[in-house]
Chains A and B, each alone.
Chain A
């Protein structure tokens, strides 16, 4: 199985409550994916020229204040840090390759989860409701979030194998299903110099779409191309800083339900994780059709 969830708040009013609304969705979908969970949250973009790097430490407890001191001393760049347990995010003007080089040398066991002006990422191994508690998901604010609860079928259970997957900047993807040609996709991307972090099938799909976007496709065009290239079962839920996009494979083997009101668009594997949302009784609740691209923006 696996559970996917997404919530986009169209109006500013509810954005302070994004975490409050999304956390029960994750908790509820824990029964579809008890191995691990993750959540990508998109909020107010940091100023142009800066990036937010979301980080996760393999060790627990981890000395983030020493990490922060070392970073500012070594790079001579200020970067406010926000810490939540084994996760942190740092906002800085350091260029991505420089940041990656510093991280690899100084803290090889700290994993860079996401990069962008709007995205922030949390993911870990364990029961989704425990992860949501530990990482204080209820406190999160922002415009939209996509999350995942994982029941692993094709690769290891580890924090790095948890979804969402990211590639490039301000882009993430969660997946319910399994791809049957991830290795051929991966080989074709590796020949183009694209590097992978795990052996997970979803990462191949995520990096494929991000590569198409770097080649000039819109996300929707990239998805159209993926219908030809990606083989297997998928309900993909993706987000950029402006959009939330859903697509299901031609056979629609993996579930999805969407609910839309004037205030929000919510997506989940099952309706029961949407039942607590305000105004759900009068929402337009529908099942997304196979191979149709649903794109929402606020």
Chain B
């Protein structure tokens, strides 16, 4: 790619001199009509909502630690944060990929409906809360109440899981390689089948995660909490 070609295909923003609003407005309105394939955003410095609301097949590199709601509601885009992120990275992701090279704070991938979220470091509490179909791969550990009320999709945790993992779980599946502090209400450990190993292998490969896919535990819903049993004595 010569320089002219590079200018046409790539764009660089610097949040020291440009606002997040300017960047996001470009991403939403000018980008679709352009030939740009890669966006670089320098100096995120913990700012919020960078590259939220994407709907374009484009590569976005955020160069440093970023704040809350990064790549929220992502569609199609492939966003990489070269640092840590704050709360709710890739919340409600629909498709595409969001990768965090560092650690993520609370509620990573919250309510995601599709696509793939990769946290290479640790994710904090409520990781994958209310997942609705996305896949989430965490290279490190996850905090308390991860996959709380998760309805569909898969959470893979290569490290340990904090207390109350999978509390009130619906039909999402969790795989954990390390130690689990405790399972939440209605979450249970189940035997790993060949299909589970294949699923973990597939997601580890998709996430470019090193390591053996065997040795994971499968956690799923015991399905006793969300089925109404009219014969149970109930008090209101």
Q: Name the A residues within 8 Å of B87 (CB-CB).
A: 255
Q: Name the A residues within 8 Å of B105 (CB-CB).
A: 255, 257, 287
Does A272 count as interface, using CB distance less than 8 angstroms?
yes
Cα A287 to Cα B141 in complex, Å, equals 13
Does B86 count as interface, using CB distance less than 8 angstroms?
yes
Residue pair A252, B144 in contact (C-beta under 8 Å): yes
Closest chain B residue to A275 by CB distance? Answer: B45
Does B114 count as interface, using CB distance less than 8 angstroms?
no
Does B80 count as interface, using CB distance less than 8 angstroms?
no
* Contact bitstring A58-93, B, C-beta under 8 A = 1, else 0: 000000000000000000000000000000000000
Q: A252-B125, A252-B143, A285-B84 are in contact. Are A271 and B67 (CB under 8 A)?
A: yes
Among residues 266 to 288 in chain A, which have CB atoms less than 8 Å away from a CB atom of chain B? Answer: 270-275, 281, 285-287
Among residues 66 to 102 in chain B, which have CB atoms less than 8 Å away from a CB atom of chain A? Answer: 67-68, 84, 86-87, 102
- Which residue of the partner chain, among B84, B106, B144, contacts A271 with CB atoms under 8 Å? B84
Closest chain A residue to B83 by CB distance? Answer: A285
Q: Name the B residues within 8 Å of A108 (CB-CB).
A: none
Cα A225 to Cα B68 in complex, Å, equals 33
Does B132 count as interface, using CB distance less than 8 angstroms?
no
Residue pair A252, B67 in contact (C-beta under 8 Å): no
Distance in angstroms from A223 CB to nearest chain B CB is 19
Does B178 count as interface, using CB distance less than 8 angstroms?
no
Does A289 count as interface, using CB distance less than 8 angstroms?
yes
Would you call the interface of chain A mostly helix, strand, loop, or mixed? loop
**How many chain B residues touch A (Cβ–Cβ < 8 Å)?**
20
Does B217 count as interface, using CB distance less than 8 angstroms?
no
Distance in angstroms from B109 CB to nearest chain A CB is 16
Residue pair A272, B67 in contact (C-beta under 8 Å): yes
Q: Name the B residues within 8 Å of A273 (CB-CB).
A: 46
Residue pair B65, A271 in contact (C-beta under 8 Å): yes
Cα A274 to Cα B47 in complex, Å, equals 11
Closest chain A residue to B64 by CB distance? Answer: A281
Closest chain A residue to B47 by CB distance? Answer: A272
Does B173 count as interface, using CB distance less than 8 angstroms?
no
Q: Name the A residues within 8 Å of B177 (CB-CB).
A: none
Residue pair B46, A275 in contact (C-beta under 8 Å): yes
Closest chain A residue to B104 by CB distance? Answer: A287
Cα A273 to Cα B45 in complex, Å, equals 9
Cα A289 to Cα B125 in complex, Å, equals 9
Does A290 count as interface, using CB distance less than 8 angstroms?
yes
- Which residue of the partner chain, among A251, A257, A272, contacts B45 with CB atoms under 8 Å? A272
Distance in angstroms from B88 CB to nearest chain A CB is 11
Distance in angstroms from A24 CB to nearest chain B CB is 11
Residue pair A289, B143 in contact (C-beta under 8 Å): yes
Q: Name the B residues within 8 Å of A274 (CB-CB).
A: 46
Q: Name the B residues within 8 Å of A257 (CB-CB).
A: 86, 105
Q: A255-B105, A275-B46 are in contact. Are A285 and B144 (CB under 8 A)?
A: no
- Which residue of the partner chain, among B47, B86, B102, B125, contacts A290 with CB atoms under 8 Å? B125
Distance in angstroms from A147 CB to nearest chain B CB is 17
Q: A252-B125, A255-B105, A287-B124 are in contact. Are A270 and B46 (CB under 8 A)?
A: yes
Distance in angstroms from B105 CB to nearest chain A CB is 6
Cα A287 to Cα B103 in complex, Å, equals 9
Q: Name the B residues within 8 Å of A255 (CB-CB).
A: 86-87, 105-106
Q: A255-B87, A290-B125 are in contact. Are A272 and B143 (CB under 8 A)?
A: no
Distance in angstroms from A285 CB to nearest chain B CB is 6
Closest chain B residue to A280 by CB distance? Answer: B65
Cα A42 to Cα B67 in complex, Å, equals 30
Among residues 28 to 82 in chain B, which have CB atoms less than 8 Å away from a CB atom of chain A? Answer: 45-48, 64-65, 67-68
Distance in angstroms from A27 CB to nearest chain B CB is 14
Distance in angstroms from A14 CB to nearest chain B CB is 20
Closest chain B residue to A273 by CB distance? Answer: B46
Closest 4 CB pairs of A and B: A272-B46, A271-B46, A275-B45, A275-B46
Knowing that A285-B103, A287-B105 touch, tell me 9 more A-B residue pairs with CB under 8 angstroms. A251-B125, A270-B86, A271-B65, A272-B46, A281-B64, A285-B65, A289-B143, A290-B125, A290-B144
| A-B pairs with beta carbons under 8 Å apart, 29 shown | A252-B124, A252-B143, A255-B86, A255-B87, A255-B106, A257-B86, A257-B105, A270-B46, A270-B67, A271-B45, A271-B65, A271-B67, A271-B84, A272-B47, A272-B48, A273-B46, A274-B46, A275-B45, A275-B46, A285-B65, A285-B84, A285-B102, A285-B103, A286-B103, A287-B105, A287-B124, A289-B143, A290-B125, A290-B143
